[in-house]
Chains A and B, each alone.
Chain A
Amino acid sequence: MNRIVEKEMLNKNVVKLVIEAPRIASKRMAGHFVIIKIDEKGERIPLTIADADPETGTITLIIQRVGVTSHKLSLMEAGDMLEDVVGPLGHATEVEKLGTVLCAGGGVGIAPLLPIARSFKEAGNRVITVLAARNRELLILEEEIRACSDEVIIMTDDGSYGRQGLVTHGMEEILEREKVHLAVAIGPAIMMKFAALTTAKYNVKTIASLNTIMVDGTGMCGACRVSVGGKTKFVCVDGPEFDAHLVDYDEMIMRLGGYDKQEREAYDRYVAAGNGA
């Protein structure tokens, strides 16, 4: 059992939860994630550890509402308990001093990006971050990202904030302008796909953090599998970060839709039972 000690809605669809998990807080590094289960009947879902405080023994999760479980999480309050939290899972990001690191985050992908950007900054890199969101209201963690970036470019689909355009436009601008030693792209699969195509043109090594469907998170089930460089990899134990130029995004997008029908039905049942979206 893990207690929620703090809750904040970052916008109407994104919630931040601070959760007691002392062991995980003291072990976790940038790139790690946890698997949580709300209650006895809940499903296990993976969430990146956006931040952690070993002193208070807490971890921070930032969750976007997409289906039943994320919706339930957004309705929980400080003081409530999560039945299961396990981690830290996955390989930590390999952080070293490289020079200039270009970080690109889309939507809720900004949450997993934050600890990575922070680590690269702490390792002495020049960090340039491009954040993208559909509109101003949906942009999260701007302040935190600014605090660990030398430069921030913000792109919105509708131009309601920053510049109008896609994440790749912002990335291209930097890549044209200066030498980038490493790029990190995290967001929806489709965004990572185009971010990778963009950096490939400039021959810049790029890592992507993949958010496939998972069950156990320990390499036991293979639900999270994805093709990387023509080989099947398990995201939970081999990743979640991979060479962004080798990932088969189309396959990943297809697999993410694997339970669409069941999940939509579950969500409809959930709403029908009186839980509004």
Chain B
Amino acid sequence: MAEQVQEYLKVERQQPWREELRKAMKAKERTDITRVKMPEEDPHFRATNSNEVNLGLTKEMALQEARRCLDCANPTCITGCPVNINIPKFIKRIEQGDFLDAARVLKDTNTLPAVCGRVCPQEVQCEVNCFYVQKLGKEAVAIGHLERFAADYERDSGNISVPEVAEKNGAKVAVIGSGPSGLAVAGDLIKWGYDVTVFEALHEIGGVLKYGIPEFRLPNVIVDVEIDNLRRMGVKFETNFIVGKTAGIEELKSEGFEAFFIGSGAGLPNFMNIPGENYTGIFSSNEYLTRVNLMNASNDEYDTPVYSGNHVAVIGGGNTAMDSVRTAKRLGAEKAMIIYRRSLEEMPARVEEVKHAMEEGVEFLNLNNPLEYYADERGQVNRMKVQKMELGEPDSSGRRRPVPLEGSEYFIDVDTVIVAIGVSPNPIIPSSMPELEMSDWGTIKVNKETMESSVPGVFAGGDIVRGGATVILAMGDGRKAARGIDEYVKARKKK
């Protein structure tokens, strides 16, 4: 962290109210408290509906958990948070009982705390860096749960603070894509007086938060409240607008937009390109989740159809795979399986998601890799061939490489297969802007400080730059880009 930030944190920590709270309880008493358990919907019941699985902490639980935080002189947790939320400050506000102010602290750096509190992989970000884990060998302070608590409290109280908006400065900025990175850019720039329009290809705002992450993990209303907030602050949203198709960046320039942010995500699904993969009943996770989450396909009143398979195999081990397999379970699958070529330890999905999937009865076929699909005479998939794997030497990523076990092939009966092995950057914008410098992986190259691309005035962030990351990293990029855009526009005005 930069020195000024350290200095700022120190000054904040010396505030009398913080000192008082620290003295109110002995450190030993704090560390003796056991970590709170998130109340959850019963696994058997929840696997039949799309209600949120995590129910949220009660006030008492939140107060108790907040007491565990030691308000460290060197709050290492903050270094683990990509947007450097002032974690001890918001937690101490909770301990004080001032939940609304806790939410305000969160919003200083995080536009979507109710979302991040739910979907951040805390166990590898803020929480893994908590003093409890690093020095005490105990379970981390439940930073994510507390973040969600404060944000939910604020929303339920009806006292959502709509940040103040500076006087309009007359500069028009176009944000392309309404995922977390785009929403973060819009949130900052509107506060600073910009005229901001968000262009979204789909008919709904929110990107992956809407079409990807299911209702049982992130209810749409949570996202909608945040979008409404941005609307109230003056952000304009244009849905059904594909930049590069409906209008290009050049045309938007001629309509007065001075700077651009590309947050178009990594929407292109990868397939394994193995025989039979185009049979019917085999989907990308994007298609499956989009049908259910964006198009409401599992509700008969909506016109979009979806497969509610009986024997569903999901290929992959990331969040997308977990979301797909848990969705399949909810659509009535008798057997819902994860087929993953490494072992449980290497699984990139959040620990909580894996745990929830197991509780809900998902079968894990780890160290298994699909080789081929077979179908009935109508082309409907009915069987797949898989091969067992073992772990060999670590590869360049440090993970042990899966090696096929010769002669271990066997067959599994399936009627639905969902391929969730990753996504590639969406090529629509790059192909409409040949002057944009791209990496070999199809991501947009940017200056890491300003997030500006090779084209002056065009900034980018989120998955289109990172090739698939997390909500909070996308938002962090968005906030950095907002500063970059602000500097760019100001420099232009001076000329």
Contacts and interface: CB of A to CB of B under 8 A. Distances in A.
Interface of A: 23-24, 27, 37, 41-44, 68-69, 83-89, 215-216, 218-223, 225-227, 232, 237, 251, 254-255, 257-259, 262-263, 266, 269
Contacts of A44: 203, 295, 304
Given A216-B202, A251-B278, A89 B245 contact: yes
Nearest to B238: A23
Contacts, number: 116
B268 interface: yes
A222 B280 CA distance: 12
Interface in B375-389: 378-380
Given A86-B242, A215-B291, A251-B379, 4 more contacts: A87-B246, A225-B271, A225-B278, A262-B307
B305 A221 contact: no
A174 B2 CA distance: 75
A88 B273 CA distance: 29
B279 A221 contact: no
A218 B426 contact: yes
Interface in B337-358: none
B203 A37 contact: yes
Contact of A220 (B240, B280, B286, B307): B286
Nearest to B424: A219
Contacts of A83: 203
Nearest to A40: B302
A251 B246 CA distance: 31
B311 to A, nearest CB: 17
Contacts of A223: 283-284, 287
B303 A88 contact: no
Q: Which 4 A-B pairs have the closest CB atoms?
A: A254-B379, A262-B305, A258-B280, A221-B287
A33 to B, nearest CB: 11
A220 B269 contact: yes
Interface in B196-251: 201-203, 211, 239-242, 245-247
Nearest to B297: A43
A254 B375 CA distance: 11
Interface residues of B, number: 43
Interface in B294-329: 295-296, 300-307
Nearest to A32: B245
5 contacts: A42-B303, A44-B203, A218-B426, A226-B278, A255-B379
Given A86-B242, A220-B286, A221-B286, A69 B273 contact: no
Nearest to A265: B305
A255 B268 CA distance: 20
A257 B271 CA distance: 21
B181 interface: no
Given A41-B301, A43-B304, A218 B280 contact: no
A27 B240 contact: no
A232 to B, nearest CB: 6
B428 A237 contact: yes
B281 interface: yes
A43 to B, nearest CB: 4
B241 A219 contact: no
A244 B50 CA distance: 44
Given A86-B203, A86-B240, A215-B291, A254 B279 contact: yes
A221 B211 CA distance: 11
Interface string B141-170: 000000000000000000000000000000
Interface in B408-436: 426-428
Contacts of B202: 216, 218
Nearest to A270: B303
B366 interface: no
Contacts of A237: 427-428
Contact of A23 (B246, B307, B378): B246
B25 to A, nearest CB: 51
B277 interface: yes
A218 B295 contact: no
B110 interface: no
Contacts of A43: 295, 302-305
A147 to B, nearest CB: 29
B267 interface: yes
